[in-house]
Amino acid sequence: MKSVGVAILGLGVVGSGTYKIIRDHREFYRRTQGIDLTVESVLEINRQRALDLGIEESKISDNIAEVVSNPNVDIVVEVIGGVEPAKSFVLAALHSGKSVVTSNKELFCKYWYELEAAAKRTNAGLYYEASCVGGVPIIRTLIDGMQANIVTSLTGIINGTTNYILTRMSREGLGYKEVLKDAQKLGYAEKNPTADVEGFDAAYKLSILSSLAFHKRVPLENVYREGITGISQQDIEYGRELGYVLKLLAIGKNDGGNSVEVRVHPAFIRKDHPLASVNDSFNAVYLQGDSVGDIMLYGRGAGDMPTGSAIVSDVIYAATHSDVKYAAFKNTEHADKNTKFVSDFKSRYYIRLTVQDRVGILAKVAGIFSKYNISISDFLQKAEGVENIPIILITHMTSELSVRRAVEKIAALEDVLAVNSVIRVEG
């Protein structure tokens, strides 16, 4: 039976979960995979944390050179997160000829060329299933399961923190700040939530997923990004009245030509869309292929065991497919895919205005929309005050540029007190 030794860099939440899965499933993997999988080394400055997990003193180190030079280590698992020192540690492992499994989406999407080159130089494997959507096997699906298809679109809820916040705002009628504070207490949101609530985390993942889906590198800087900090309870409620649910979506579209559209932002989707029922901290990715049609993968996008599951899956694959090297994007051309400017995006739009109750104001607004060839599909007027009236409109499909120009003109009207919200409508 083949013996496979693993080193784990970092014993935080995910690293500890990974260790437990390997430890508790050793006999199962011996029986089903034909490998004896063991943890031979851990890199951890908190030695007591490692000891509490039952790891032998001799296998605990705070020296990366010692870990990657260990002859009993075949595969290195990086679960430190961030760019440094994770990048240096991963490169050290690859330079030594060890295959690497990582959950680090930021590192991977920013430095995949460098990581891939290092892996190729020593014929080491580089695996990254856990970098996107936790325990949901989206990477392997795109690389293997969808290879018979031209993927035309990818739409995902791929950040659990924001989905939890928006779910509670919708379900309980609470404001953003109130839910965020509660999410931080419960551990669903970081003390500094910027990476999640401003869409950076989802953008890292979308950069990777869209590159795989469309077979062209989509750099992080080409991913349009908006967060959820400006979302109000009013918009969620008005959207519900019109039959919509608000989500932070990661969207990739392949127009069949030489360009793709990649964006992360809040968007309304119809209540009957499959993604509308993805709530709390759960994640999902909805794919459209030219042959298979529509498919959706759903599950937990974070946590010790879900992410650990994806990591160990890659470890097993690396151990049992040593002749196949998924060195970064094995089926992705090294040519930056042309990405559309935000002004070229096409969508439907939810627009909320506050206007004075004056004769002719609706005609003026409609006239401006008409000037920019924007037609209205839904309309809602809320007579909440004598003078100031909220008006909600949803457009038919139109360009971002047309909407921005129209909104600028509408905002300048004397009787328009505010353009409160402009939110895209998808699906």
Q: Taking Cα atoms as reference points, which of 83, 78, 122 lies closest to residue 103?
A: 78
Tell whether domain 344-426 is in CATH 2.60.40.10: no
Q: Taking Cα atoms as reference points, which of 246, 281, 284 lies closest to residue 265?
A: 246
Report the SS3 class of residue 232: coil
pLDDT of residue 324: 64
Tell whether domain 2-135+306-335 is in CATH 3.40.50.300: no
Q: Which residues pair with 394 in a beta bridge?
A: 350, 378
Q: Is the pLDDT of residue 330 over 50?
A: yes
Q: Which two tokens stand for residue 208?
A: 């990777």
pLDDT of residue 335: 47
Q: Say if residues 421 and 232 touch (Cβ distance below 8 Å).
A: yes
Q: What is the pLDDT of residues 241-278, one digit of tens each?
A: 999 999 999 999 987 767 889 999 999 999 999 999 99
> Which residues participate in the annotated binding site for L-homoserine?
190
> Which residues participate in the annotated binding site for NADP(+)?
9-16
CATH code, 138-300: 3.30.360.10
Q: So which residues are the catalytic ones? A: 205
Beta-strand pair 333-336/216-217? parallel
Q: CB count, 10 Å around CB of 258? A: 8
Domain range summary for the chain, segments of one domain joined by +: 2-135+306-335, 138-300, 344-426
Q: What is the pLDDT of residues 343-384, one digit of tens each?
A: 788 899 999 999 998 888 889 999 999 999 999 999 988 775
pTM recorded for the entire structure? 0.92
Mean pLDDT of the chain: 92
> Do the domains spanning 2-135+306-335 and 344-426 agree at the CATH topology level?
no
Q: Which two tokens stand for residue 94?
A: 């690859």
